[in-house]
Amino acid sequence: MVINPTAIYVLWLREMKRFVRAKSRVFGALAMPLFFLAFLGLGFNRMSIPGMAGGVPYVNFLVPGIIGMTMLFTSVMGGMSVLWDREFGFLKEIMVAPVSRVSIVLGRIAGGTTTALIQGIMILAISTAAGFRVARPGSYAVAFLFLILIATAFLGLGLIFASWMKDMQGFGIVMNFVIFPIFFLSGALYPVANLPRWVRVLSYADPLTYGIDGLRGALIHVSARPLLFDLAVMAGISVAMVFLGAYFFEKSKSI
């Protein structure tokens, strides 16, 4: 297995150009998180939410969850680009190129992670302008690391499903059944401690739970678990997803 930095860069650059040219894609990706942030954040900000740390406004609790949601949706749906490339023949061309498939996967993950990061940072910037405040400026560096890990993990998941499937419509339907349980079980909108015990077991098996908890620990210093524990879990899941995504992509057909 030989990693080709040039191939990774070219695929990353291609994703960047597609992202910049698709203005409607950026707007569509940001619209739903902003609706959640506006209506839930403003509607429940004055209410006491059971299970929340005392003195934390609901909007501060919500913002890391909405950022995590943005990363989840953008990253998983990044697998759709594989199906588009298969549909229009580009995937066949890069499959026969003299580069390893691992380099192709890494290039796609690099491009998808960058686009997801841009959107997550945009949500954070908008939230800050709307009144969200981080615990201290250094918190951004740790939060940025969690954003990278969340994007990488779920891009790997998207590649796994895209490698199995050939139909774009079917991919969208299947991924909705995957994305929404992951989102609602993660504690993005409410504390996981408020869920019934058997549902909490499912939440602890949800990778996004640790990503959002880590974001909260980094940004507002409120988390259910130690920050280093969340970081270690997300790092392990991200590495596993990259390897699994590369494995299934290598076994997939280009046509």
For the chain, the structural domain boundaries read 5-46+62-251
Nearest to 64 by CA among 9, 162, 142, 3: 142
CA count, 13 A, side-chain hemisphere, 127: 29
pTM: 0.86
- Contact at 8 Å (CB) between 175 and 161? yes
* 8-state DSSP, 131: T
Nearest to 55 by CA among 220, 224, 214: 220
pLDDT of residue 135: 67
pLDDT of residue 168: 67
Let me know if 175 is exposed, middle or buried by CB neighbors in 10 A (0-12, 13-18, 19+): buried
Q: What is the pLDDT along the chain (255 residues), one digit of tens a residue?
A: 567 777 788 888 888 887 777 766 667 667 777 777 777 766 666 656 665 665 677 788 888 888 888 888 888 877 777 776 666 666 666 666 667 777 777 888 888 888 888 888 888 888 877 777 776 777 788 889 999 999 999 888 888 887 777 766 667 677 778 888 898 888 888 888 888 888 888 999 999 999 999 998 888 888 888 899 999 999 999 999 888 888 887 776 554
Strand runs (DSSP E) across the chain, as ranges?
Answer: none
